[in-house]
Amino acid sequence: MKRLLFIGDVVGRAGCEFLADKLSGIKRENNIDITIVNGENSAQGNGITRGSADAIIRAGADIITTGNHAFRRKESMELFDEDYIVRPANYPEGGCVGSGVRILDMGAYSVAVINLMGTVYMDPLDNPFTKMDELLENIDTPNIFLDFHAEATSEKKAMGHYLTGKVSGMFGTHTHVQTADECILGGHTAYITDVGMVGPELSCLGVDSESAVNRLRFRMPVKFQEAEGACFLCGTIVEFNEKDGKSHKINRIIVR
């Protein structure tokens, strides 16, 4: 049995610092074998940079997933050559840097980490369901975990049911709000609609609430400020059998 920790979107410098402060303790206390962290908002001012990716890896992540803000920072394109970072796999073929799948070699077993983006209320990327079919044909480990970065709960639920028995786990990200629906689907697939975030808790998804309120209230362009105040960390821990890829247990965690 192995234990995998998945942590939701790390927001800004405060999120990176809180992750660095807490991650090694969480890993130790829970006997974690593999750690995946979503880093699409880890840079100051959004996106991901070499500096924020380094901070997440130094904190103890094995793989960084991303999402709709993956390519926000033009100066960071070469970062996607690194084998510890995944970007949504359903960007159109041919012109996109990086990879949507990474295989983690754990010695006696391996783990595939896939990143996909939803297309409901999001950018019109390739169909995530058919993309997933294609990807699964070419992966030869039973231990497959998906970060499905999507807005609509319906699309995430549908993907979870579609992948039941086909992957070890699906973690929803992007909304930054942890949902209370973690479960094991079909005695095989760990599932949660959204894992949540890492960053200032009293905020609008990590953004200073005054700037978020002003943008929505006045419909004028307002520069988002990073929120201040005490941080929290939201994640999930999955226990799976690395021989057959079946997950047995999923727990949510919130560390303050």
Active site residues: 69
Identify the residue among 4, 6, 9, 49 touching Fe ion (CB under 5 A): 9
Confirm or reject binding of residue 178 to Fe ion (CB under 5 A): no
Q: How many CB atoms lie within 10 A of CB 159?
A: 23
Confirm or reject binding of residue 98 to Fe ion (CB under 5 A): no
Identify the residue among 22, 23, 41, 168 touching Fe ion (CB under 5 A): 41
The one segment of 41-49, 56-64, 124-132, 247-255 that binds Fe ion by CB under 5 A = 41-49
SS3 sequence, the chain? CEEEEEECEECHHHHHHHHHHHHHHHHHHCCCCEEEEECCCCCCCCCCCHHHHHHHHHHCCCEEECCCCCCCCHHHHHHHHCCCECCCCCCCCCCCCCCCEEEEECCCCEEEEEEEECCCCCCCCCCHHHHHHHHHHCCCCCCEEEEEECCCHHHHHHHHHHCCCCCCEEEEECCCCCCCCCEEECCCEEEECCCCEEEECCCECCECHHHHHHHHHHCCCCCCCECCCCEEEEEEEEEEECCCCEEEEEEEEEEC
Residue nearer to Fe ion on the CB measure, 22 or 174:
174
- Shortest spacing between CB 89 and Fe ion, in angstroms: 15
- Shortest spacing between CB 124 and Fe ion, in angstroms: 15
Residue nearer to Fe ion on the CB measure, 171 or 240:
171
Distance of alpha carbon 174 from alpha carbon 244, whole angstroms: 29
Confirm or reject binding of residue 174 to Fe ion (CB under 5 A): yes
The one segment of 60-68, 84-92, 136-144, 215-223 that binds Fe ion by CB under 5 A = 60-68
Residue nearer to Fe ion on the CB measure, 104 or 117:
117
Identify the residue among 12, 15, 60, 67 touching Fe ion (CB under 5 A): 67
On whether the CB atoms of residues 135 and 114 are closer than 8 A, the answer is yes
- Shortest spacing between CB 26 and Fe ion, in angstroms: 20
Confirm or reject binding of residue 245 to Fe ion (CB under 5 A): no
Give the burial class of 223: count Cβ atoms within 10 A of its Cβ; 0-12 exposed, 13-18 middle, 19 or more buried. exposed
- Shortest spacing between CB 224 and Fe ion, in angstroms: 12
- Shortest spacing between CB 11 and Fe ion, in angstroms: 7
Identify the residue among 42, 52, 66, 68 touching Fe ion (CB under 5 A): 68
Confirm or reject binding of residue 189 to Fe ion (CB under 5 A): no
How many residues does the structure list for the chain? 256
The one segment of 8-16, 103-111, 186-194, 225-233 that binds Fe ion by CB under 5 A = 8-16
Of all residues in the shown chain, the one whose CB is closest to Fe ion is 9
Binding site for Fe ion (CB under 5 A): 9, 40-41, 67-68, 174
